[in-house]
Amino acid sequence: MEKIRFGQTDLEVSVLVLGTWVTGGWAWGDADDGQSLRAILRALELGINFIDTAPVYGFGRSERIVGQALKEWGARDAVVIATKCGLEWDEKENIRRNASPARIRQEIDQSLERLGVERIDLYQIHWPDSKIHLETSMETMLKLQVAGKIRYIGVSNCNREQIMACRSVGQVHSLQPPYNLFERESEKDLLPFCQANGIATMAYGGLCRGLLTGKFSGEETFPRGDLRRADPKFKPDRFRQYVKAVDQLKRVAEKYHKSVAQFALRWVLQQPGITTVLAGARTAAQVEENVGVTGWQIQPEDLEAVEKILTTRIKTPIGPEFMSPRRE
């Protein structure tokens, strides 16, 4: 497993991060706790030492399963745990942003308990809260750092100006932006900014909500509660357009004896400003598939071939702006 220094921290992490949104069984269809646990343990066996979770992933469920896996694995210091704060929900699972000092202080203690750890390696503001100045949220994060509850501070879903607001108070160690072959808004100025300022990145959505797995025909529909139901990429006409592009990408991936999903994640890792890439997994078999993104390189001529496919097949790219914490 390839490892890399995580920005300006002392963390040595796998370039592939195990994402656990699906582990919570929310927004992606239900998940099996036993399978999820086995998937996490298999990831650790294969050298993935970086796990990303959040309280909102299954409303505590994902963090609890990660905590159980850590307990079974035993070697806590060998695993880098990232979780988040700044979202809250009610009894009907309606989610809203809340990055107030009181909410952050409440969440950190809950996360520590669910994960069964004394300190979180990377604590991230999940979404900027328009009602709370980011400077105020950052002040609370710094106090948690001084108290020894967290090691490093990150942000997620923030733009350049929001990161700068945080940096006016204290050091931001990482950003978690959406980024994949089909959603590339981050490369305009956000990734160059992070690269210039030593901010590590953890790209999420690398498979574009399954679109880059190559498993869709373009005729599928999604049930209520599945976030793809609201994504314009999965509306009939556009869905088929993206599927045709994936079919062409498959041919390039075959040159490397890789699946299109492995190829898509490898592509992300080779982009300027990217430190690590997230990949979720329901099962141990999916973890084993994801691990195939490391240990090889896409050659320059094939990177060029990818650009040609995208410019000819995707007439009007659609960004990830629809991805918000609100329920459908």
Of 83, 173, 81, the closest CA to residue 124 belongs to 83
Tell the residue number behind the tokens 């808004």, with chain if given: 185
Which residues lie closer than 8 Å to 254 by C-beta, 6 or more apart? none
**Structural tokens at position 102:** 């009181």
Query: DSSP alpha helices (H): ranges in 77-159?
Result: 101-115, 134-146
Residue 3 token pair = 């490892």
**30: helix, coil or strand?**
coil
Cα distances (Å, whole numbers) of residue 265 to 59, 207, 279, 296, 307: 28, 7, 8, 12, 15
Cβ–Cβ contacts within 10 Å for residue 122, how many? 25
Give the bridge partners for 71, in sequence order: none
Tokens of 185: 């808004």
Count of residues making up the chain: 328
Task: Give the three-state DSSP class for 47.
Answer: coil
Question: Is residue 256 annotated as a catalytic residue, yes or no?
Answer: no
Amino acid at 171: Q
CA 177 to CA 116: how far, in whole Å? Answer: 27
The one catalytic residue in 57, 123, 152, 179 is 57
Tokens (6 digits) for 243: 């599927």
What number of other Cβ atoms are within 10 A of residue 70's Cβ? Answer: 20
Catalytic positions, written as ranges:
57
